[in-house]
Amino acid sequence: MSSEQPALPINTALPARLSDWARAGWLRGVDHALACFLNEEGGEQDETVLLMAALTSQQVGQGNICLDLQQALSEPTRLWPELPDTGVAEAIDRPTDWLGKQEMETLTAVLTQSAVIACPAQQRDQGNEPLVLQGNRLYLRRYWQHEQDVAASIEARLETEETVAPDLKSQLDALFAGGAYQPDWQKVASALAVRSALTIITGGPGTGKTTTVVKLLGLLQARQLTADPERPLRIRLAAPTGKAAARLSESIGGAIDALPFDESVKLAVPREVRTLHRLLGSVRNSRFFRNDRHNPLHADVVVIDEASMIDLEMTAKLLDALRPETRLILLGDKDQLASVEAGAVLGDLCQGADAGDYSADTVDWVKSASGEEIGAFQARDQAPALRQHTVMLRHSHRFSADSGIGGLAAAVNAGDSERTLSLLGEGDDDVSLALLKDAEDSRIEKLSVAGYRPYLEQLKASRPDSNQEPDPDKATRDWARKVIHHFGQFQVLATVRQGMLGVSGLNERIAAVLRREGLIDKDRDWYEGRPVMVTRNDYELGLMNGDVGICLLTRLADDERPRLRVAFELPGGDIRLVLPSRLDSMESVFAMTVHKSQGSEFDRVLMVLPEVDNPVLTRELLYTGITRARHQATLAGTSEHLIRLAVARRISRRSGLRERLNA
Ligand SMILES: Nc1ncnc2c1ncn2[C@@H]1O[C@H](COP(=O)(O)OP(=O)(O)OP(=O)(O)O)[C@@H](O)[C@H]1O
């Protein structure tokens, strides 16, 4: 909830409480504006309706799709864990107090009668009411519509093939020969993906999502080319961010080369991974995409990686752009942080995936298609249709559950704070706890210098001499690529934005210490070695929100003198050099938020917790931060108590998707 106090128009027809809440910073300007609109344009006078509308809008700002009335009344402090104290009179009811006094029956009756709220269950929906009441959930219409569309589109993909092609098992056996685990979930996932137009493959880091999907694509393409050699499947790969797309294209190449298929099949499996925005064809300054139901994507198979980062609206747009027969494969880690924008679609879709919940039909199908036995994961009673399309990969091939990072991630995920702390306390090589005296503790500087020194030294050591190089442009780009890769080996992750231990404080502190150490020359805004992250998509430059580049002193063939340029590695490996003045929206990235690090991995990570507790400190945040590290994760914080609180706190985003799809 924003603490800024918007300048509010005085409207005497509006309930005073609404203005009070906005002045107190308990509503955002946009929440207040919605209530004003309903009052002025919709003629709504009722205080309860206006307040509930503003609170619903406010909940969307918190990442929820709707306001859950039951929960709002019974445990309002869970929905509003912290309301800022901005010096408003004691006499003013806080939203949590006001909600605590409402009666469910009266509240629903008032909302049901309002002309600005549609109630589809009572056949009252003109299609233009700004809000929708569905059961106990109050929605802004746009989000209700997205939820309806996503649910309908997923449901339409839940049909499954009954017959098992006779040659499928031998192909799967060849692809997954020598699997060390029983059942081999990678094989199960591939078998199930042949059966229908929707498959969701979830798993923690290194569980083989990429490996599995490449084998699966090879399998699908091989089968297609046998059936019709003239018409290979049109396969499209995408990820939500440029970074995630680049990472997938990097790891996919080797896996395609290793496929046990003819060259013709391997050539027909694409290596190019786009961002989701590019896949759908974003339209400048618009929420719409070129591909939608009227102009669907020309694709037979669409694979989306890092699906946990996709919000509800983007999911709706993706599904809208797919023909019903296009096979959709979603990959992601359901336990990671949800999308920044509203919704936790992958989490909703994967609800119950741990248990399996397969029907007897699915168990039989998997057995005959792949030979794998998943009877132990059969549903006790009802088997939700969506579960038949979901597979959880359970074994990390990058680190075992008893390795430091794997074990720590598992302990956090299980909500086991004692084990989390004991693993951190053991001080293994790969996980450790840096307990700080206070927020100013210089261990932060020490650990950061140790982490960033190698790329800065590399930068200097491998700088090409453009007078000596036959192709100075190529030499510059090769050098830039090397420096970028070195920078990617270590990253400081912050959990909050503000304060000495937040993103901005850490960026300043790290730049200052690197300067003191003589590793950077930070006299001005732009200096060699400055790492920056793009914070808004720039289609002209071909840079996406989240792309990271390093400022380098470069001398290209046409330059009379060296110039500072920011080097970015594009998906596919090309280096783009951009003058700093052309970058409108960017920030230094010696430290980045855990949210921004999603879709990236680093050899070593220093994750810094804030000084005081904050509702953003959750199990999902810790898990996501820790699992960004391939080899070493250090957690730094001023108290163990905060780690306990974070491990115990879960993100729970309200939506109706889970209930509807798991029915
Ligand atoms: N069944 C397997 N047996 C042995 N090694 C495997 C198996 N599956 C995957 N691997 C190896 O484990 C590593 C991680 O696999 P992969 O990249 O496919 O996982 P992922 O789930 O996509 O990882 P992430 O998304 O976290 O990067 C790779 O080196 C891969 O070759």
Q: Where are the alpha helices (DSSP H) in 462-494?
A: 472-487
Q: Which residues contact 337 (CB under 8 A, 6 or more apart)?
A: 308, 594, 595, 598, 618, 620, 621, 624, 651
Predicted confidence at residue 485, as pLDDT, reads: 92
| CB distance 614 to ligand 1 below 6 Å | no
Q: Which long-range contacts (CB under 8 A, 24 or more apart) does 86-93 make?
A: 86/3, 86/5, 86/23, 86/24, 86/25, 88/20, 88/23, 88/24, 92/17, 92/20, 92/21, 92/24, 93/17
Helix H or strand E segment including 608 = strand 602-608
Count of positions (residues) in the chain: 663
**Residue 341 neighbours by CB distance under 10 Å:** 14
Predicted confidence at residue 400, as pLDDT, reads: 66
In this predicted model, what pLDDT tens digit does every residue of 98-112 receive, in sequence order?
888 889 999 999 999
| CB distance 224 to ligand 1 below 6 Å | no
Say how many Å lie between the CA of residue 506 and the centre of ligand 1: 33
In this predicted model, what pLDDT tens digit does every residue of 503-534 receive, in sequence order?
999 999 999 999 999 999 867 889 999 999 99
pLDDT band at 8 (very low <50, low <70, confident <90, very high): very low
- Is residue 206 marked as binding? yes
Nearest C-alpha neighbor of 569 from the set 594, 605, 600: 600
Residues 447 and 634 sit within 8 Å (Cβ to Cβ): yes
Nearest C-alpha neighbor of 274 from the set 311, 235, 237: 237
Say how many Å lie between the CA of residue 206 and the centre of ligand 1: 5
Candidate from 213-227, 291-305, 311-325, 460-474 with smallest mean pLDDT: 460-474
Whether 135 shows a pLDDT value over 80: the answer reads yes
pLDDT band at 313 (very low <50, low <70, confident <90, very high): very high
Mean pLDDT of the chain: 88
Kindly report the protein residue whose alpha carbon is nearest to atom 9 of ligand 1. Answer: 208
In this predicted model, what pLDDT tens digit does every residue of 425-434 receive, in sequence order?
876 678 999 9
**In ligand 1, which atom is closest to the CA atom of 176?**
1
| CB distance 406 to ligand 1 below 6 Å | no
**In ligand 1, which atom is closest to the CA atom of 203?**
21
| CB distance 210 to ligand 1 below 6 Å | yes
pTM, two decimal places: 0.86
- Is residue 482 marked as binding? no
| CB distance 209 to ligand 1 below 6 Å | yes
Say how many Å lie between the CA of residue 199 and the centre of ligand 1: 18
In this predicted model, what pLDDT tens digit does every residue of 567-612 receive, in sequence order?
999 877 789 999 999 998 999 999 999 998 988 889 999 999 999 8
Residue 192 CB-density burial (10 A; 0-12 exposed, 13-18 middle, 19+ buried): buried
Predicted confidence at residue 88, as pLDDT, reads: 61
Predicted confidence at residue 402, as pLDDT, reads: 66
Kindly report the protein residue whose alpha carbon is nearest to atom 12 of ligand 1. Answer: 397
**In ligand 1, which atom is closest to the CA atom of 601?**
27
Averaged pLDDT, 313-334: 94
pLDDT band at 549 (very low <50, low <70, confident <90, very high): very high
Residues 129 and 44 sit within 8 Å (Cβ to Cβ): no
**Omega before residue 183 within 30° of 0, cis:** yes
- Is residue 112 marked as binding? no
Say how many Å lie between the CA of residue 347 and the centre of ligand 1: 22
Predicted confidence at residue 284, as pLDDT, reads: 75
| CB distance 397 to ligand 1 below 6 Å | yes
Candidate from 89-93, 500-504, 520-524, 615-619 with smallest mean pLDDT: 89-93
| CB distance 208 to ligand 1 below 6 Å | yes
Mutate to test the pocket of ligand 1, among 305, 398, 405, 623 (most ligand atoms within 8 A of CB): 398
- Is residue 362 marked as binding? no
Predicted confidence at residue 447, as pLDDT, reads: 96
In this predicted model, what pLDDT tens digit does every residue of 223-240 receive, in sequence order?
999 999 999 999 999 998
Please identify which residue in the block is written with the tokens 């690090």: 597
In this predicted model, what pLDDT tens digit does every residue of 339-387 receive, in sequence order?
777 778 888 889 888 888 999 999 999 999 999 999 999 988 888 899 9
What is the rounded CA–CA span in Å between residue 661 and residue 663?
A: 6
Predicted confidence at residue 663, as pLDDT, reads: 64
Q: Tokens standing for 340?
A: 């920044």
Predicted confidence at residue 641, as pLDDT, reads: 92
| CB distance 631 to ligand 1 below 6 Å | no
Say how many Å lie between the CA of residue 211 and the centre of ligand 1: 6
- Is residue 29 marked as binding? no
Helix H or strand E segment including 30 = helix 29-40
Candidate from 54-58, 84-88, 235-239 with smallest mean pLDDT: 84-88
Share of the chain above pLDDT 90, in %: 55
Sign of CA dihedral 405, 414, 492, 550: positive
Averaged pLDDT, 21-43: 87
**In ligand 1, which atom is closest to the CA atom of 333?**
25
Three-class SS state of 551:
strand
Predicted confidence at residue 427, as pLDDT, reads: 67
| CB distance 251 to ligand 1 below 6 Å | yes
**In ligand 1, which atom is closest to the CA atom of 397?**
12
**In ligand 1, which atom is closest to the CA atom of 627?**
26
**In ligand 1, which atom is closest to the CA atom of 186?**
1
CA end-to-end distance (rounded Å), the chain: 33
Say how many Å lie between the CA of residue 166 and the centre of ligand 1: 29
Candidate from 278-287, 501-510, 562-571 with smallest mean pLDDT: 278-287
Whether 169 shows a pLDDT value over 80: the answer reads yes
Select, from the ranges 9-23, 83-97, 358-372, the one with the highest average predicted confidence (pLDDT).
Answer: 358-372
Whether 2 shows a pLDDT value over 70: the answer reads no
- Is residue 203 marked as binding? yes
Residues 196 and 160 sit within 8 Å (Cβ to Cβ): yes
**Residue 581 neighbours by CB distance under 10 Å:** 8
Predicted confidence at residue 87, as pLDDT, reads: 60
